[in-house]
Chain A
Amino acid sequence: MAKVTREMVEKAGVNLDQLVELLVKNAAAELTTYYYYTILRVNLIGLEGEGIKEIAETARIEDRNHFEALVPRIYELGGKLPEDMKAFHDSSACPPASLPQDPRDIQAMLRVLVEAERCAVRGYTHLCNLTAGKDHRTYDLSQAILNEEIEHESWFSEFLGEGPSGHFLRRGETSPFVSKFLR
């Protein structure tokens, strides 16, 4: 725990216990999404599936990165990861991104993917709102993650016929926004 760090955040008027719990829930969402996306990705096969396999893989790796980037902040603020991984799973800020009944139904697959990203965009927007101008480091981290979640949403939404997103696939490194927290 980082004593003065906590003190500064509390003094700024943030409810620290609530914030830490929210960060843990979002860390759970990241790790479980990483897991569920692994299943989605291996099922993205055939002509249509292969077309989105690559972005699903990038989104998957970046979610793992988000988990890794959140953990140090949780401990700095005096929080911890629950010992029981089942409880951790169930506390996730987002519902499980479960494989659709028919994994060959590409629209159903895309809906699972885009909904997971939308949940994340909502969660990090809220974390940014809670911390803006108060907890600068959590804000910076949440905002970096938010940037990547918005890109994930846009990649998948394009395939759902919601119009062009204006984005390209990642070229080179993953996590262009969050990588500074991973070094």
Chain B
Amino acid sequence: MRRFTKKELAKYNGQGGTATYVAYKGRVYDVSQSFLWQHGKHQVLHTAGKDLTDSLAEAPHGPELLEKFPVVGILEDS
């Protein structure tokens, strides 16, 4: 499986026609097909191309909503 650094992940922020990836607990999900992640933005507060593990703790939903989206890689610790 593809390994992403934070810098590589940042390229997939959904802006300017790039794919929309978000990381959660070390996994990188492709949410490009989601209505709620258009242009890499989610509910005003969140942007794609990042590790959003901490942000999800404040969300009005859990990680189960990520499950229907494909995992495209692993986020490296660095």
**Which residue numbers of A lie inside 8 Å of B, CB to CB?**
18, 21-22, 25, 90, 92-96, 122-123, 125-126, 129
Contact between chains at A122 and B60 (CB < 8 Å): yes
Contact between chains at A123 and B44 (CB < 8 Å): no
Stretch at the interface among B6-14, B23-31, B35-43, B69-77: B35-43
Chain A binding surface SS class: helix
Q: Which among A22, A25, A95, A126 has the greatest number of chain B C-beta atoms within 10 A?
A: A126
**Which residue numbers of B lie inside 8 Å of A, CB to CB?**
35-36, 38, 43-45, 59-61
Give CA–CA (A115, B59) in the complex, Å. 17
Contact between chains at A22 and B61 (CB < 8 Å): no
Count, A-B residue pairs, CB within 8 A? 24
Residues of A within 8 A of B43 (CB): 22, 25, 93, 123, 126
Contact between chains at A125 and B44 (CB < 8 Å): no
Contact between chains at B60 and A96 (CB < 8 Å): no
Contact between chains at A125 and B36 (CB < 8 Å): no
Contact between chains at A18 and B45 (CB < 8 Å): yes
Give CA–CA (A94, B36) in the complex, Å. 7
Residues of B within 8 A of A21 (CB): 44
Shortest Cβ distance from residue A55 to the other chain B in the assembled complex, whole angstroms? 24
Q: Given A95-B35, A95-B36, A96-B35 in contact, is the A122-B61 Cβ separation under 8 Å?
A: yes
Residues of B within 8 A of A25 (CB): 43-44
Contact between chains at B44 and A22 (CB < 8 Å): yes
Chain B minimum-CB-distance residue to A20: B44
Give CA–CA (A123, B59) in the complex, Å. 10
What are the 3 tightest A-B residue pairs by CB atom distance, in nearest-first order?
Answer: A122-B60, A95-B35, A126-B60
Contact between chains at B60 and A90 (CB < 8 Å): no
Shortest Cβ distance from residue B58 to the other chain A in the assembled complex, whole angstroms? 8
